Amino acid sequence: MDRDGSSKSMRIASIDIGTNTILLLIADISKDGITNVIHDEQVIARLGKGVDADRMINQETFLRAESFLRTYKERCDSFAVDQIAAVGTSALRDAKNSDEFCNFITKNTGMSIEVISGEEEALWTYRGGISEFVDRADKFSVLDIGGGSTEIIVGNAFNVESKTSINIGSVRITERILRTSPPDDAALIEAYELIRSQIPLDLAQQLTSTFAVGVAGTLTTLAALHQNLPHYDPAKVNGYSLLYEDIGVMFAMLKDKSIGQIKRFPQISEGRADIILAGIMILIGCMERAQLKSITVSDRGLRYGVLYREINRLFH
């Protein structure tokens, strides 16, 4: 189908079903890459709520996720999408009733979900995260702080060379330790010590001479917060450099505030207020261990990477 009248293209929807968020990206693609972004949105669905404790997705979450995904399916239909590629990550890999959840979604929305491996998630998160910066360096590292886990991926412009998966995420740390609002000093120390214990000691060596990129909600929220953006603006978030010192200042500003007070910041989206502290602590821990003075923010990531995977499948 020639949507642009010049080369064969398809309209693809990429859906990233994560532990905390579900993201939808609709774009036209061709053998030359992503030619036109049509629609981009996300919702906080909390698929991983309680999964860390009992490895089960509860029935309330089944219904909540179905509602969001039904809306996404309607959005795809309205934009005349040719194909939907929906992928599930950490929470669906961990949950014992993952198959039941996926079958429920397929039955009620007509949308099938592919639960991808950690290795595939790392590859396509990496490809999406560096896609805007490939001309700026020869070697890259991507830090992806999720709700259930954190990935550190190192590679060149095309391939992943190493991947480290840390079993800590913003939802997991919040549910385990930062359960009060605001958390007391003892909880903050416990969370900090757990995060430090999980981060590899050789991280600085791994990330030496890489262009460090951060993806996912913690990083994009901090970029918006540091710029005091009145509303989310991808053009101002993408490529924004966050200094380690500035991240520390924002953490100090938020750590003594209640969830209600944190919600008043327009840059902190609904559903993120209670987990933003844990996300920032993971970011600080990784930057300390890696001796990073700054990190460049990308609001791309897995949903963009999945589109690149589909380009490879369909056109190459």
- Confidence class of residue 2 from pLDDT cuts 50, 70 and 90? low
Instruction: Express the helix, strand and coil content of the chain in percent, nearest 5 each.
Output: 45, 20, 35
pLDDT tens per residue across span 155-186: 998 889 999 888 889 988 998 999 998 999 99
- Confidence class of residue 6 from pLDDT cuts 50, 70 and 90? very low
Residue with tokens 């259930």: 148
**Ranges of H-type helices in 17-58:** 51-54
- 18, 86 contact by CB (below 8 A): no
**What mean pLDDT is reported for the chain?**
91
- 10 Å CB burial of residue 51 (0-12, 13-18, 19+) is buried
Hey, how many other C-beta atoms are within 10 angstroms of the C-beta on 75? 16
Higher pLDDT, 98 or 122: 98
* Domain spans of the chain, in order of start: 9-118, 133-297
Report the sign of the C-alpha dihedral through residues 298, 146, 283, 212, in that order.
negative
- Confidence class of residue 3 from pLDDT cuts 50, 70 and 90? low
Q: What is the pLDDT of residue 56?
A: 87
Beta bridge partners of residue 213, listed in sequence order: 142, 296
Rounded CA gap, 217 and 44, in Å? 10
pLDDT tens per residue across span 9-52: 899 999 999 888 899 999 999 998 999 999 999 888 888 777 76
- 10 Å CB burial of residue 19 (0-12, 13-18, 19+) is buried
Return the CATH fold of 9-118: Nucleotidyltransferase; domain 5 (3.30.420)
Rg of the chain, C-alpha, whole Å: 19
- 240, 233 contact by CB (below 8 A): no
- 81, 25 contact by CB (below 8 A): no
Domains 9-118 and 133-297 share a fold: yes
Residue 240 is classified by DSSP as P
pLDDT tens per residue across span 41-62: 988 888 877 776 778 888 888 9
pLDDT tens per residue across span 247-276: 999 999 999 999 999 999 999 987 899 999
- For the domain spanning 133-297, the CATH number is 3.30.420.150
pLDDT tens per residue across span 104-136: 999 999 999 999 988 888 889 999 999 999 999
- Confidence class of residue 315 from pLDDT cuts 50, 70 and 90? confident
Rounded CA gap, 24 and 16, in Å? 7
Q: What is the pLDDT of residue 73?
A: 96
